[in-house]
Amino acid sequence: MAGLTTGGPNVDVSLLYGINGAARHAPAWLDRVVSLVGEYGILLALVLLVLWCWRGARRQDEATAVESVAALVWAPLAAGLALLVNVPLREFVGRQRPFRQHEGLQVLDPAFGWGLGRTEFSFVSGHTTLAMALGVGLFVANRKFGLLGIGLAFAEGLCRVYMGIHYPTDVIGGLALGTAVVLLLAPLAMAALTPLVRAVARSRRGGRLVRAKNLALPRPVGLPQAQTPPTHESDLAA
């Protein structure tokens, strides 16, 4: 199923040529950096961001820590689920890669055919779907980290178009798919994960996965009290 327009004068193709055309005027080292970042770097940064957020979540009170960690567990689970949804979606739409439909594109992915979820079809972008699911999952756990993660997801999509292996609408589809899977299933996922994470938090061995080791609070130092000198019998006799 063709599904989406792949030829002719349209905004999608114009944006593709405009963004990818920048690669022709950029130095070779920049193209290599964008290719590496778009293939592996941003996804790695998102994983590290999830771990960093988890480290901070463990330092909160128990109720907040349980909710935050449950959301952080849901983030990678949702990302994996979104990729699974993308498999039949790509086959159904059947959109060919842009460089197979249009001439003059600068393809920057030398390892094409070996990357994450790589197929002959481009809609939707698997990398962008995965990045957005992680970013939105982070947003559920922590607004600040989530906004940073969503920004990285947009950067991932831009890299994929710059590399010449996705249309802009492939990226938009990935952003929408990642967001939809996380948010639509979040109530059910949190209802299932929160009791599990709470049980782990209260266990002896797994507790530190949810809560950092509690440090004993310093005892308040009292002011020295004036002592009454002992009264001797001789004083009383006097």
Q: Mind listing the pLDDT tens digit for each residue in 188-213? A: 999 999 888 888 778 777 777 777 76
More confident residue, 26 or 188: 188
Model pLDDT, residue 176: 95
pLDDT band per the 50, 70, 90 thresholds, residue 22: confident
Buried b (16+ CB within 10 A) or exposed e, 105-127: bbebbeeeeeeeeeeebbbbbbb
pLDDT (mean) for 95-115: 69
3-state secondary structure of 115: coil
Give per-residue pLDDT as tens, 173-194. Answer: 999 999 999 999 999 999 999 8
pLDDT the model gives residue 229: 55
- Does 156 score more than 70 pLDDT? yes
Of 161, 159, 179, residue with least CA distance to 39? 159
Give one word for 89, left, alpha or beta, with left for phi > 0 and alpha for psi -120 to 50.
alpha
150 — pLDDT class (breaks 50, 70, 90): very high
For 225, what's the count of Cα atoms within 13 Å in the CB-facing half-sphere?
4
Q: Where are the alpha helices (DSSP H) in 94-142?
A: 98-101, 126-141
Q: What pLDDT, on the 0 to 100 scale, is given for residue 138? A: 93
Output the pLDDT for position 199.
Answer: 82
